[in-house]
Amino acid sequence: MSFKHLPLLGTAEIIGTLNLSPKQTAAAANLAHRVAQSAWRRRPPHKSGQTYADFAATVTDCAWLTMFEVGALLTLGRHRDARLLTEASRLAHQPTHAGQSR
Protein backbone atom coordinates (compact mmCIF):
# COMPACT_ATOMS: atom_id res chain seq x y z
CA MET A 1 0.00 0.00 0.00
CA SER A 2 1.28 3.42 -0.88
CA PHE A 3 -0.07 6.76 0.17
CA LYS A 4 2.62 8.57 -1.80
CA HIS A 5 0.24 10.36 -4.17
CA LEU A 6 -2.88 10.48 -2.00
CA PRO A 7 -3.55 13.88 -0.42
CA LEU A 8 -3.23 13.15 3.30
CA LEU A 9 -5.88 15.49 4.70
CA GLY A 10 -8.55 14.40 2.22
CA THR A 11 -7.62 10.76 2.64
CA ALA A 12 -7.82 11.06 6.43
CA GLU A 13 -11.24 12.70 6.14
CA ILE A 14 -12.55 9.82 4.00
CA ILE A 15 -11.07 7.25 6.41
CA GLY A 16 -12.77 8.97 9.35
CA THR A 17 -16.09 9.56 7.62
CA LEU A 18 -16.37 5.95 6.43
CA ASN A 19 -14.79 4.56 9.62
CA LEU A 20 -12.32 2.44 7.65
CA SER A 21 -10.17 -0.17 9.32
CA PRO A 22 -6.46 -0.31 8.44
CA LYS A 23 -7.15 -3.28 6.14
CA GLN A 24 -9.96 -1.41 4.34
CA THR A 25 -7.76 1.69 4.07
CA ALA A 26 -4.97 -0.37 2.49
CA ALA A 27 -7.40 -1.96 0.03
CA ALA A 28 -8.78 1.44 -1.01
CA ALA A 29 -5.27 2.88 -1.48
CA ASN A 30 -4.25 -0.14 -3.55
CA LEU A 31 -7.30 0.23 -5.75
CA ALA A 32 -6.55 3.91 -6.37
CA HIS A 33 -3.01 3.05 -7.45
CA ARG A 34 -4.15 0.16 -9.65
CA VAL A 35 -6.58 2.50 -11.44
CA ALA A 36 -3.82 5.09 -11.96
CA GLN A 37 -1.43 2.40 -13.22
CA SER A 38 -4.08 1.18 -15.65
CA ALA A 39 -4.53 4.72 -16.98
CA TRP A 40 -0.75 5.08 -17.29
CA ARG A 41 -0.52 1.86 -19.33
CA ARG A 42 -3.25 3.21 -21.66
CA ARG A 43 -1.67 6.64 -22.16
CA PRO A 44 -1.48 8.03 -25.69
CA PRO A 45 1.58 7.25 -27.84
CA HIS A 46 2.93 10.81 -27.59
CA LYS A 47 3.30 10.26 -23.83
CA SER A 48 4.89 6.83 -24.09
CA GLY A 49 8.19 8.03 -22.60
CA GLN A 50 6.49 9.20 -19.41
CA THR A 51 7.28 7.13 -16.31
CA TYR A 52 4.55 6.08 -13.91
CA ALA A 53 5.95 8.43 -11.26
CA ASP A 54 5.74 11.36 -13.70
CA PHE A 55 2.22 10.38 -14.73
CA ALA A 56 1.04 9.89 -11.13
CA ALA A 57 2.38 13.33 -10.21
CA THR A 58 0.08 14.89 -12.83
CA VAL A 59 -3.08 13.25 -11.48
CA THR A 60 -5.10 15.85 -9.59
CA ASP A 61 -5.73 15.61 -5.87
CA CYS A 62 -9.45 15.44 -6.60
CA ALA A 63 -8.96 12.42 -8.87
CA TRP A 64 -6.78 10.62 -6.29
CA LEU A 65 -9.39 11.23 -3.59
CA THR A 66 -12.22 10.08 -5.83
CA MET A 67 -10.37 6.87 -6.70
CA PHE A 68 -9.61 6.29 -3.02
CA GLU A 69 -13.22 6.90 -1.97
CA VAL A 70 -14.57 4.62 -4.70
CA GLY A 71 -12.16 1.93 -3.52
CA ALA A 72 -13.26 2.43 0.08
CA LEU A 73 -16.93 2.21 -0.85
CA LEU A 74 -16.31 -1.00 -2.80
CA THR A 75 -14.39 -2.43 0.14
CA LEU A 76 -17.38 -1.67 2.36
CA GLY A 77 -19.72 -3.42 -0.07
CA ARG A 78 -21.40 -0.15 -1.02
CA HIS A 79 -21.28 -0.86 -4.75
CA ARG A 80 -24.21 1.40 -5.66
CA ASP A 81 -22.62 4.37 -3.87
CA ALA A 82 -19.30 3.65 -5.60
CA ARG A 83 -21.01 3.53 -9.00
CA LEU A 84 -22.89 6.78 -8.33
CA LEU A 85 -19.68 8.54 -7.25
CA THR A 86 -17.89 7.26 -10.35
CA GLU A 87 -20.67 8.48 -12.64
CA ALA A 88 -20.87 11.87 -10.93
CA SER A 89 -17.11 12.28 -11.29
CA ARG A 90 -17.25 11.40 -14.99
CA LEU A 91 -20.03 13.90 -15.59
CA ALA A 92 -18.25 16.64 -13.66
CA HIS A 93 -14.98 16.11 -15.54
CA GLN A 94 -16.23 15.55 -19.08
CA PRO A 95 -14.33 17.66 -21.55
CA THR A 96 -16.50 20.31 -23.13
CA HIS A 97 -16.37 20.72 -26.87
CA ALA A 98 -16.59 24.09 -28.58
CA GLY A 99 -19.90 24.59 -30.31
CA GLN A 100 -21.61 21.76 -28.49
CA SER A 101 -25.16 22.64 -27.47
CA ARG A 102 -26.72 21.31 -24.30
pTM of the model: 0.84
Cα 58–chain centre separation: 12
* pLDDT tens across the length of the chain (102 residues): 567 889 999 999 999 999 999 999 999 999 999 999 999 999 888 878 889 999 999 999 999 999 999 999 999 999 999 999 999 999 988 876 544 544
Which of 90, 65, 89, 74 is CA-nearest to residue 14? 65
Is 11 in contact with 65 (CB distance < 8 Å)? yes
Is 101 in contact with 89 (CB distance < 8 Å)? no
Whole-number pLDDT of residue 16: 97
